[in-house]
Amino acid sequence: MRVAMISMHTSPLEQPGIGDAGGMNVYVRNVASHLASHGVEVDVFTRATRASQGEVVEVEPGFRVINCVAGPFEGLAKESLPTQLTAFTGSVIAFVRAEAARRSDVPETACTRTGAGIYDLIHTHYWLSGQVGWLLRDLWGVPLVHTAHTWAAVKNLGLADGDTPEPESRRICEQQIIDNADRIIVNTDEESAAITAAYDADPERLAIVAPGVDIERFTPGSDRATERARRELGIPLRAKVIAFIGRLQMLKGPHILLRAAAEVIRRHPGQNIRVVICGGPSGTGLERPDELHDLAAELGVTGYVRFLSPRPPEELVTVYQAADIIAVPSYNESFGLVALEAQASGTPVVAARVGGLPLTVTEGESGLLVDGHDPSVWAEALEKLVIDDDVRIAMGAAAPAHAAVYSWDVTVERMQAVYDRALGDGAAESSDRVPHGVPLH
């Protein structure tokens, strides 16, 4: 099987935690890698952002990243990317047309203007890619599978203070994708119910496939490993460490953690509490990149807070192991990969009861769930685990077993089953749906 995977707005090779790179990048890279290990050839098409990237990056056998030129390499905000959908689609078609001409295993008749015959299926990620995939699906006559990661209508129901609502134009584009994709992959039952209500999605075309976690990389650390991690990060060995890992924007709620932690620090000065915030500005956070530093100063806790730059997965495990608690105060989270990685690393989680987090975190066993985003309520939840060492340690010990239920191998096995169903009943229907004004020959 050959799959054209489209991730227009961000590359799976980008560092998560910087700009628009986050959980979706982790998801796409791991899915593509594990599909390749299962014998599926995957090309991930993304927008080129640097001249030095090269057009084709061979990540591993069966998994390539194709950097497509669409607009300037730098200085193009995510909000402006819709203006480059045509350029990006044209770049994809040009590459695939040339690929069809090069490959000896593609019938000569397939070497058309569109490059039809190269791929068996298209899998798109995020709404921008979904719009591209919708066109390519009809040009190539193959099924379209879409994973949204976030939905405008769902995000707008749980905005953080100061966040900008997603535009109606995005919601309309998502509705078009819902109406035209052969399969929609969602993370949880809750996401399935939410988009059925918000977009009138057909339940028959929805497939629930939970993301996974790299349980070989994210593992519990020994006491010695924790000490070494804290030394490397400049954290006192005897401190109680509460960490946040993710993009620094209002939607992810790092300001909620800071306010709550400041309250716990005031109540318990003898507990030697430290806060670690690991990530880079993103979204609304780009407008005020020093906002969290200023908030820490305003709260009088600058000396208790350590800000770390984003780290690749092989280094990020050190942050998880150095922490006593991982806080996930997001306003919207389709699944919660950070919460899963934390538990795999043996660290309990305090998370908002939103999106997929109630599934990701087993309340009372591997962590705590908090209703709402009131800093005083969050302070009470954090306080419970900071003060009660026995409960916190027991949750940390139980957490890896919960995370082990989710693996990328299980994820891709279920995803392949979705692909097979789409190929079985969607290809013929897809080939009949030709948009007006787009020639096939």
Is 323 annotated as a binding-site member?
yes
Residue 210 in marked binding region:
no
> What is the strand order of the sheet 63-68 is part of?
56-60, 63-68, 41-47, 2-6, 121-125, 144-147, 183-186, 206-208
| 5 assigned binding-site residue | no
Torsional sign, CA 40, 174, 17, 85 = positive
Residue 252 known to bind ligand: yes
Residue 420: in which H helix or E strand, if any?
helix 408-432
Please indicate if the annotation marks 302 as binding a ligand.
Answer: no
Tell whether 379 is in a known binding site. no
Residue 419 marked as a ligand binder? no
Query: Which structure tokens are listed for 301?
Result: 């806790």
- 365 annotated ligand binder: no
As a dihedral over the C-alpha atoms of residue 190, residue 191, residue 194, residue 195, rounded to 10 degrees, the angle is: -150
Burial class (CB in 10 A: 0-12, 13-18, 19+), 148: buried
78 is in an annotated binding site: yes
Which contiguous run of DSSP H or E holds residue 315? helix 313-322
311 in a known ligand binding site: yes
Structure tokens at 37: 């290990």
Say how far apart CA 249 and CA 29 lie, in whole Å. Answer: 23
Farthest-apart Cα atoms in the chain, separation = 75
Q: Is 22 annotated as a binding residue?
A: yes
Q: Is 9 annotated as a binding residue?
A: yes
State yes or no: 21 annotated in a binding site.
Answer: yes
Confirm if 272 and 235 have CB atoms less than 8 A apart.
no
DSSP assignments along 138-160, one per residue: HHHT--EEEE-SS-HHHHGGGPP
Q: According to the annotation, is 8 in a ligand binding site?
A: no
Q: Is 313 annotated as a binding residue?
A: no
113 labeled part of a ligand binding site: no
Q: Is 155 annotated as a binding residue?
A: no
207 SS3 class = strand
67 DSSP β-pair partners: 46
Residue 15 annotated as binding site: yes
- Binding-site positions for UDP-N-acetyl-alpha-D-glucosamine read 15-16, 23, 247, 252, 311, 333, 341
Residues of the binding site for 1D-myo-inositol 3-phosphate: 9, 20-25, 78, 126, 150, 170
Annotated binding site: 9, 15-16, 20-25, 78, 126, 150, 170, 247, 252, 311, 320-321, 323, 333, 341, 347
Binding site members for Mg(2+): 320-321, 323, 347
